[in-house]
């Protein structure tokens, strides 16, 4: 089962909700004060029956109109006071709980930025979005209403029954009879509702994922005429969610009926017994009126139990879903705190792979690694092209350099320093990346490019745009201040790729990792970009994933990846002569040659020796 559809944890509702305490603690005084105000308002409602008793046994029995009007004035003032106190309670909780929700959302967003790429590969974006929106909204609503009124209604019921027992203990005991069956029913309801609530919230996440993918992929849907099939898929998910929500509604209806009917039967029995006692002269009419008014005032606190339990259970589920993400360990970034920084001595720019092996974190134990025994040295100022068939591990290998993934075995060093001994912040100041699929954000062209270097200014921006042949940015309606829109879809693929390349080179990185950065460019633009790139590559150490001979020609040497291993290293011309697989890849001919088995020992050029450095 995917992580985002995990089974509910074996925790009680209280245990789950108690994890919110660190966020609630700063505003606990406001919440406690609001609860006290709400208790006071509820107690006012319990005073009203006592006023009614005084009116019935006093002014009404004595036929005193003035007393009746005075009692009516008391009731009016009590009603106004109750309404005012509930208004004050709402005012007291609104601002602090909005702050709690904002703090939790900010922590979740910050945490997501620090989680490893492997986590984001596994989790659907819609599931994360639903946790940051729907689940946090449920938690704010819980803290604002159910949490307070579970306490308030509990105190109100307790005080109310004390008053009932003091007024007429026999009738009070009649009203206590439903307590045991209601507790049993509520316990059974909580168990069943927790499962349905979790399923519904997970299905909301699935639905969010489909909507997001449909919006981002609208060009594909329209281009292939798949709107009907997408609509059917969406309808199926909606129907599944509808079925689950109807199940929730049935459970709510059942418990609402139970907590309404059972107390009503008890009140009816108390009314009959009380009427008989009044007729026998054992009880005053005012006492019976006050007793029944108090019992009716307790109807809402009792009947709301099902509603409050349902909201509490949904909130407990939302808390579990929130902390499922928050509990995932962030990338360890403490190893480089006191360790050496690459290039702290004379700048060299050497990148070395020593016995590197990689498996994805969710791979089966003992499975064949994606990369195996990678030994490769890229000399200072050298550009190394990575060439290989689809699925040979080129992109994975480049992702290891900025530690988007962690090596399973072996190590990668920059200027002799293991990259795991550096903090990610230090590492990513040294290494800049550009991917084949360029990602742009809903920001201006300039902001997207300058994301590659916080300290870069206008001069660096113009230089980077020129290198990437992205001067078209100056001709946009608002120049480099033009907003590119979501995912940069207002631009062509080639334009997005050039801006991504500009972002990679704007900070003059010491190490540059390019994953087929020119694949979306036309032949003429590619030639211009390559000419400008040669100037950049002359000043940096670079590793470039290449599929076309024109890109390979940018490199000083070429490394051929085959079945996750380095099969050969040499210049373009050397590999054309010595490697049939490389010659086939560069020729584009049909019919793949039999790939030679990867060597058991690294070739001389691939192993980091002093002899290799001398070449």
Strand order in the sheet with 371-378: 371-378, 351-358, 409-414, 417-418
Per-residue burial over 35-72, b if 16 or more Cβ lie within 10 Å, else e, is: bbbbbbbbbbbbbbbbbbbbbbbebbeeeeeebeebbe
> For 161-171, what is the mean pLDDT?
81
Is a pLDDT exceeding 90 seen at residue 422? no
Tell me how far apart the alpha carbons of residues 477 and 96 are, in angstroms, rounded to a whole number.
43
Whole-angstrom Cα distance, residue 499 to residue 575? Answer: 32
Q: pLDDT digit string (tens) for 546-602?
A: 888 888 888 899 999 988 899 999 998 999 989 898 888 888 655 556 544 444 433
What pLDDT is stored for residue 442 in this prediction?
A: 80
Closest CA to 388 of 377, 401, 374: 374
Q: Using 50, 70 and 90 to split pLDDT, how confident is the model at 352?
A: very high
Residue tagged 């334009």 (tokens): 495
Structure tokens at 227: 């709107």
Residue 546: what pLDDT? 85
Question: Of 488, 391, 497, whose CA–CA distance to 435 is shortest?
Answer: 497
Containing H/E element for 387? strand 383-388
pLDDT tens by residue, 293-314: 888 888 888 878 777 888 888 8
Q: Report whether 328 contacts 115 (CB < 8 A).
A: yes
Domain with CATH 3.40.50.300 in the chain: 351-614
Determine the pLDDT at residue 597.
46
pLDDT band, very low/low/confident/very high, at 163 (cuts 50, 70, 90): confident
Ranking 207-216, 330-339, 605-614 by mean pLDDT, the lowest is 605-614
DSSP string computed for 75-92: HHHHHHHHHHHHHHHHHH
- Helical segments of 115-226, H only: 117-122, 125-130, 136-144, 146-167, 169-176, 179-216, 218-223
CB 107 within 8 A of CB 136: no
The dihedral over CA atoms of 164, 165, 167, 173, expressed in degrees to the nearest 10, equals: 80
Residue 48 backbone phi and psi in degrees, to 5? -55, -45
- 318-341: average pLDDT: 73
Residue 355 in tokens: 């016995």
CB burial string 253-265: b at 16+ within 10 A, e below: eebbebbeebbee
Percent of the chain surpassing pLDDT 70: 89
What is the widest separation between alpha-carbon atoms in the chain? 120
What pLDDT was estimated at residue 589?
59
Q: What are the pLDDT digits (tens) for 475-514? A: 888 888 888 876 676 787 778 878 888 888 888 888 989 8
- Does position 118 have pLDDT exceeding 60, yes or no? yes
Q: Angle at which helices 65-114 and 28-55 pack, to 10 degrees?
A: 160
User: For position 89, what pLDDT does the model report?
Assistant: 84
Contacts of 68 (CB under 8 A, 6+ apart): 55, 59, 60
Residue 437, token pair as written in the block: 């699929």
Instruction: Give the strand pairing for 557-562 and 383-388.
Output: parallel
Nearest residue to 56 via CA among 291, 218, 379, 258: 291
Q: Is 600 exposed, middle or buried (0-12, 13-18, 19+ CB in 10 A)?
A: exposed
pLDDT at 607: 36
Residue 25 or 67, more confident: 25
pLDDT of residue 453: 84
The pLDDT value given to residue 384:
92
Q: Give the integer Cα–Cα distance in Å for 499 and 58.
A: 87
Do 335 and 366 contact (CB within 8 A), yes or no? no
User: In this predicted structure, what is the pLDDT of residue 1?
Assistant: 38
Q: Return the DSSP state at 400.
A: H
Report the C-alpha gap between 428 and 403 in whole angstroms.
9
pLDDT 10s digits, 508-545: 888 989 887 776 677 777 777 777 777 778 788 989 88
User: In this predicted structure, what is the pLDDT of residue 356?
Assistant: 92
Q: Which CATH number is 17-326 given?
A: 1.20.1560.10
Q: Is residue 283 scored above 90 in pLDDT?
A: no
Of 337, 279, 312, the residue nearest 190 (C-alpha): 312
Superfamily of domain 351-614: P-loop containing nucleotide triphosphate hydrolases (3.40.50.300)
Q: Is the pLDDT of residue 325 over 70?
A: yes
Assign 411 a pLDDT band (cuts: 50, 70, 90). Answer: very high
Which range, of 96-100, 371-375, 521-525, 546-550, averages the lowest pLDDT?
521-525
Burial of 577 (0-12, 13-18, 19+ CB in 10 A): exposed
Task: Note the pLDDT tens digit of each residue in 73-95.
Answer: 888 888 898 889 888 888 888 88
Cα–Cα separations (whole angstroms), residue 33 to 24, 29, 30, 37, 485: 13, 6, 5, 6, 46
Q: Distance between CA atoms of 212 and 512, rounded to whole angstroms?
A: 32
Residues of the chain with CATH 1.20.1560.10: 17-326
Taking all residues of the chain, what is their mean pLDDT, rounded to a whole number? 81
Asked whether 171 and 164 are in contact (CB, 8 A), the reply is yes
Structure tokens at 249: 């509604």
Query: 45 or 613: which carries more pLDDT confidence?
Result: 45
Banded model confidence at residue 105, pLDDT cuts 50, 70, 90: very high
Going by pLDDT thresholds of 50, 70 and 90, the confidence category of residue 217 is confident
Query: What is the pTM for the complete model shown?
Result: 0.72
By C-alpha distance, which of 84, 313, 99 is closest to 187? 313
């Amino acid at each position: 089962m995917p992580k985002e559809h995990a089974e509910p944890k074996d925790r009680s509702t209280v245990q789950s909700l108690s994890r919110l305490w660190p966020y609630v603690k700063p505003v606990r005084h406001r919440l406690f004060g609001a609860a006290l105000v709400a208790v006071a308002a509820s107690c006012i409602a319990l005073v009203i029956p006592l006023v009614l008793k005084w009116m019935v046994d006093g002014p009404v029995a004595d036929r005193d109109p003035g007393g009746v009007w005075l009692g009516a004035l008391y009731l009016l003032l009590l009603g106004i006071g109750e309404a005012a106190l509930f208004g004050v309670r709402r005012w007291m909780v609104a601002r602090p709980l909005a702050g709690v929700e904002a703090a939790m959302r900010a922590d979740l967003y910050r945490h997501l930025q620090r989680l490893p790429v492997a986590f984001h590969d596994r989790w659907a974006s819609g599931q994360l979005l639903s946790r940051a929106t729907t689940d946090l909204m449920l938690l704010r609503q819980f803290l604002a209403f159910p949490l307070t009124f579970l306490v308030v209604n509990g105190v109100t019921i307790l005080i109310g029954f004390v008053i009932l027992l003091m007024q007429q203990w026999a009738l009070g005991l009649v009203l206590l009879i439903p307590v045991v069956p209601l507790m049993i029913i509520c316990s059974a309801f909580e168990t069943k509702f927790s499962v349905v609530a979790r399923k519904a919230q997970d299905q909301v996440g699935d639905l969010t994922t489909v909507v997001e993918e449909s919006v981002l992929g609208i060009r594909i849907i329209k281009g292939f005429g798949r709107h009907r099939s997408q609509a059917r898929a969406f309808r199926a998910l909606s129907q599944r969610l509808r079925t689950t929500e109807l199940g929730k509604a049935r459970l709510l209806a059942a418990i609402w009926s139970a907590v309404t009917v059972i107390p009503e039967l008890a009140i009816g029995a108390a009314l009959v017994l009380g009427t008989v006692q009044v007729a026998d002269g054992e009880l005053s009419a005012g006492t019976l009126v006050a007793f029944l008014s108090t019992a009716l005032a307790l109807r809402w606190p009792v009947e709301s139990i099902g509603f409050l339990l349902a909201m509490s259970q949904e909130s407990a589920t939302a808390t579990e879903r929130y902390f499922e993400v928050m509990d995932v360990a962030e990338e360890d970034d403490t190893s480089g705190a006191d360790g050496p920084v690459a290039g702290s001595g004379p700048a060299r720019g050497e990148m070395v792979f020593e016995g590197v092996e990689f498996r994805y974190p969710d791979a089966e134990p003992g499975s064949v690694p994606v990369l195996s025994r990678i030994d490769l040295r890229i000399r200072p100022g050298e550009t190394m092209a990575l060439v290989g068939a689809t699925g040979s591990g080129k992109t994975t290998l480049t992702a290891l350099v900025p530690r988007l993934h962690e090596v399973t075995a072996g190590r990668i060093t920059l200027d002799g320093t293991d990259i795991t001994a550096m903090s990610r912040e230090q590492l990513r100041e040294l290494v800049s990346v550009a991917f084949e699929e360029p990602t742009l954000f809903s920001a201006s062209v300039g902001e997207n490019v300058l994301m590659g270097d916080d300290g870069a200014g206008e001069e660096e921006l113009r230089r980077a745009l020129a290198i990437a042949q992205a001067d078209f940015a100056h001709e946009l309606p608002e120049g480099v201040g033009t907003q590119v829109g979501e995912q940069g879809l207002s631009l062509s693929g080639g334009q997005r790729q050039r801006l991504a390349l500009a972002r990679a080179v704007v900070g003059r990185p010491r190490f540059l990792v390019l994953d087929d950065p020119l694949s979306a460019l036309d032949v003429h633009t590619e030639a211009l970009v390559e000419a400008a790139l040669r100037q950049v590559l002359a000043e940096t150490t670079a590793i470039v994933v290449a599929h076309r001979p024109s890109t390979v020609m940018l490199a000083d040497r070429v490394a051929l990846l085959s079945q996750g291993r380095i099969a050969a290293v040499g210049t373009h011309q050397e590999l054309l002569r010595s490697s049939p697989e490389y010659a086939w890849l560069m020729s584009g001919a049909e019919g793949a040659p039999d790939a030679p088995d990867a060597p058991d020992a690294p070739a001389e050029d691939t192993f980091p020796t002093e002899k290799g450095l001398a070449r």
